[in-house]
Amino acid sequence: MLAPTDRPPASAAAVRSTLAAAAPSGGFLAGCRTLLYKETLRFWKVSFQTVAAPVLTAILYLLIFGHALEGHVKVYDTVSYTSFLIPGLVMMSVLQNAFANSSSSLIQSKVTGNLVFLLVTPLSHWAWFLAYVGASIVRGVVVGIGVLVVTVWFADLQWTAPLWIIVFAVLGAAMMGTLGLLAGLWAEKFDQIAAFQNFIVMPMTFLSGVFYSVHTLPPFWKAVSHLNPFFYMIDGFRHGFFGQSDVDPRLSLAVVSGSLVVVCALALRLLRTGYKLRH
């Protein structure tokens, strides 16, 4: 149970007791569902900024890189560079927006002070986790679908293994939503979230093979790329389209799943202890 360390004021205690008394037997599901709805509605109300803007950014990347490098870069024998680029842009959009959703929501609640309204509710750390990460998955997948819909007209895409596409999109969004939750718990101001995104998320995303295949890199940088979990998300996702990838998709699935378990365990522990929330 998440709660402030200090004894809450009488009004907060009254709110807590009222909510607890009014909660039905399925209170966990009801509370989780309500918070999930709130977090989803939060980004959907400004969808022009949270959905349309990332789609436009992906189109610009496609037009610039596709026009400049088409005919000059050959990745797979049967796949054009523009076709190769589209899945990478889709997955990059999924990852970045899933991270942005949970991290921005939590830090905004901290800075504005309205986090107290969640702290006084009888929501467990599991409900917090499922709601924040669930909303991040929704936003990441919605943006990814938007990018795919507007870019698929620029090149022919194959759909060799749709199941791999779905699995890596959901797992990738879940991992980045959880990572965003961790960043939101750690940060105390917007500058720290921006630093986390600019110095960790963005470099790892751009160095994961979005715009190139890592097998074209020198041995040293190829080995470094294989240490980047983002590479396995994008490579496995791309395999679902073309049936070709730099590593076996089963290895990618194992790495992504293992990384997801680690970040989920850490996030749940921090939520359970109220890390940087109980003050």
Residue 76, φ and ψ in degrees, nearest 5: -115, 150
Mean pLDDT of the 138-150 span = 96
pTM of the entire structure? 0.87
pLDDT above 70 (res 21): no
Give residue 71's pLDDT: 64
- SS3 of residue 167 by DSSP: helix
Q: What digits encode the pLDDT tens for the residues 162-184?
A: 999 999 999 999 999 999 999 99
Mean pLDDT of the 60-66 span = 88
User: What is the C-alpha to C-alpha distance for residues 41 and 138, in angstroms, rounded to an integer?
Assistant: 11
Give residue 16's pLDDT: 46
Cβ 206 vs Cβ 200: under 8 Å: no
Q: Where are the alpha helices (DSSP H) in 49-161?
A: 53-69, 81-112, 116-119, 125-151
Please state, rounded to an integer, the average pLDDT across all residues of the chain.
Answer: 87
User: What are the Cα distances from residue 18, in Å, to 24, 26, 185, 198, 243?
Assistant: 12, 16, 27, 43, 55
Q: What digits encode the pLDDT tens for the residues 225-264?
A: 899 999 999 999 999 999 988 899 999 999 999 999 999 9
Give residue 57's pLDDT: 94
Q: What digits encode the pLDDT tens for the residues 103-129?
A: 999 999 999 988 888 888 888 999 999
Give residue 104's pLDDT: 94
- SS3 of residue 79 by DSSP: strand
pLDDT above 80 (res 94): yes
Q: 209 is written with which tokens?
A: 């093979």
Mean pLDDT of the 80-95 span = 92
Better pLDDT: 164 or 278: 164
Give residue 227's pLDDT: 92
> How would residue 7 be classed by pLDDT, with cut points 50, 70 and 90?
very low
Cβ 124 vs Cβ 1: under 8 Å: yes
Cβ 131 vs Cβ 37: under 8 Å: no
Sequence spans of domains, the chain: 28-273
Give residue 26's pLDDT: 58
Torsion angle of alpha carbons 136, 140, 145, 147, nearest 10°?
150
> How would residue 185 be classed by pLDDT, with cut points 50, 70 and 90?
very high
- SS3 of residue 21 by DSSP: helix
Question: What is the chain's Cα-based Rg?
Answer: 20
Mean pLDDT of the 67-95 span = 83
Give residue 27's pLDDT: 67
Cβ 266 vs Cβ 125: under 8 Å: no
pLDDT above 90 (res 10): no
